[in-house]
Amino acid sequence: MAGAGALNKRKKLMLWTSVLMLLAIFVLPMSGYLFTATQAEQQAEATNPRSDTWRQVRQGNEGYTAVQGRETNELIQGSGETWRQVRNGPLATYGSWLLGFILLAILTFYIARGRVELTHPRTGETVERWTLNERRLHWTTAILFIVLGITGLSLLYGRHVLIPLMGYPGFSVYAAGAKWLHNILGPVFMIALFTILVKFFRHNFINKVDIEWFKAFGGMVGDKHPSAGRMNGGEKVWYWTLATAGVALCLSGLVLDFPNFDQEREVIQLAHVIHLVTALVLLAFSFGHIYIGTIGTEGALEGMTSGQVDVTWARQHHDLWLEEKQQAERQNQQKD
């Protein structure tokens, strides 16, 4: 019995020793950290004063300078390089992909589906779709948008696309004119766009009819003619894109257009990125808008040129609006 007890004791001892040894294997190598941790604490109090100076410079801290001008007291601003990478990298690359993809998609759609024709013969009877003032407003904004789009894209892609065609001096003359036009017409476009946003605000609340309209792909795919009021779902989405991205585009444009308020470079860089992204989104959307309004739909363009559309067209594309209009006319006649 005594022998067995001694054996048990020995086993216990061995077990505890093994546990201790295992613990030591894990813990002992870490004791180095304890040493460096206490050391580092002491070192942190005394940093190299020269490093501190350059650290401040790198962080863009403001110093003192006798030279007057914009942000002259900032020795190094690091955000400019970030702006350059973002503009020349993803924005320019994916921007060109986006515009190219949309154009290609529209072309493919046109070849596959063709024009959305009128399903019934024209009646010859017309209704007024857009008043003269509405048409003036639309075409002013449209022409300004196209000019601003072309001049703006020239500043982003002209270096790669137009310099090989026009040469350096030629492109420089064009770009100087483009820059001037863009700067002058930008605020005019803003006034026109804001007028549109206010004028058509009450027609653009998205409702159940529009959701059904989207489910039927706006009648662009298949032969269904989903119902629509004065504005269909697509027009409403275009409106709200303009009301969000368009407004952001205009406001960021103002920051870029008026450097006389001494905005800091970081503000300008941010405004420029917003301006680029929103401009590319609106350009991509406008391609679709222009396609549907011209060659994509039979009889759509005449509404915006002459103001009148055929009753057949109105019944096919804006049935609820036509009903409303005819009802109002009947009521007027009854009053007379």
CB of 26 to other proteins, least distance (A): 39
Q: Which is nearer to other proteins, 38 or 43 (CB)?
A: 43
The phi, psi pair for 310, rounded to 5°, reads -70, 150
Distances in whole angstroms, Cα of residue 23 to Cα of each of 13, 26, 28, 253: 15, 5, 8, 65
Q: Which long-range contacts (CB under 8 A, 24 or more apart) does 95-101 make?
A: 95/156, 95/276, 95/280, 96/157, 98/280, 98/284, 99/280, 99/283, 99/284, 99/287
CB of 64 to other proteins, least distance (A): 4
- Using CA of residue 310, residue 316, residue 322, residue 327, what is the dihedral sign? positive
How many C-beta atoms lie closer than 10 Å to residue 315's C-beta?
A: 18
> Cα separation of 327 and 64, whole Å?
74
Member of 3, 5, 49, 121 binding other proteins (CB under 8 A)? 49
Here's the x/- map for other proteins, 64-93, by CB under 8 A: it reads as xxxx-xxxxxxxxxx-xx-xx--xx-----
> Cα separation of 250 and 191, whole Å?
9
Member of 93, 119, 131, 172 binding other proteins (CB under 8 A)? 172
Q: Does 61 bind other proteins (CB under 8 A)?
A: yes
- The interface region with other proteins, picked from 108-116, 119-127, 154-162, 202-210 by CB under 8 A, is 154-162
What's the gap between Cα 224 and its chain centre?
Answer: 32
- Partnered with residue 128 across adjacent β-strands are 308
The structure tokens 């055929």 sit at 310
Q: At what angle do helices 132-161 and 92-113 cross, to 10 degrees?
A: 120
Q: Which is nearer to other proteins, 65 or 131 (CB)?
A: 65
Q: Does 202 bind other proteins (CB under 8 A)?
A: no
> Cα separation of 28 and 34, whole Å?
11
- Report the site for other proteins in 266-285 (rule: CB under 8 A): 268-269, 272
Q: Does 26 bind other proteins (CB under 8 A)?
A: no
Member of 138, 179, 230, 325 binding other proteins (CB under 8 A)? 179
Q: Does 257 bind other proteins (CB under 8 A)?
A: yes
- The interface region with other proteins, picked from 61-69, 93-101, 221-229, 320-328 by CB under 8 A, is 61-69
Q: Which two tokens stand for residue 120?
A: 């019934």
Q: Does 2 bind other proteins (CB under 8 A)?
A: no
CB of 68 to other proteins, least distance (A): 8
- The interface region with other proteins, picked from 102-110, 162-170, 218-226, 294-302 by CB under 8 A, is 162-170
Q: Does 265 bind other proteins (CB under 8 A)?
A: yes
Residues with Cβ within 8 Å of residue 275, at least 6 apart in sequence: 249, 252, 253, 256
Q: Does 251 bind other proteins (CB under 8 A)?
A: no
Q: Which is nearer to other proteins, 265 or 325 (CB)?
A: 265
Q: Does 225 bind other proteins (CB under 8 A)?
A: no
Q: Give the residues lining the site for other proteins (CB under 8 A).
A: 49-50, 52-54, 56-57, 61, 63-67, 69-78, 80-81, 83-84, 87-88, 154-156, 158-159, 163, 168-169, 171-172, 175-176, 179, 183, 257-261, 265, 268-269, 272
